[in-house]
Amino acid sequence: FMFRTYAIRRIRDAFRENKNITDSEKIEELVNKAKANLEIIHRQVCL
């Protein structure tokens, strides 16, 4: 559905935005944010 294409596009865009980040604290923060977003996507799919 639309959620899937939106999620794939958003993930690609986020990786492109942050590909040059080298600060480990910032990377860890972004990974945690991505995990939280993944949980949200899983909940939306289950509804």
The predicted-structure confidence for 4-45, as pLDDT tens digits, reads as follows: 888 889 889 999 999 999 999 999 999 999 999 889 888 887
Long-range contacts of 3-6 (CB under 8 A, 24+ apart): 3/41, 3/44, 3/45
Residue 3 has pLDDT above 80, yes or no: no
Q: How far is residue 21's CA from residue 17's CA, in Å, rounded to a whole number? A: 9
User: Measured in whole angstroms, how far is the alpha carbon of residue 16 from the centre of its chain?
Assistant: 11
The upper half-sphere exposure of residue 35, i.e. CA atoms within 13 Å in the direction of its Cβ, equals 6
Res 2: pLDDT: 78
Res 1: pLDDT: 61
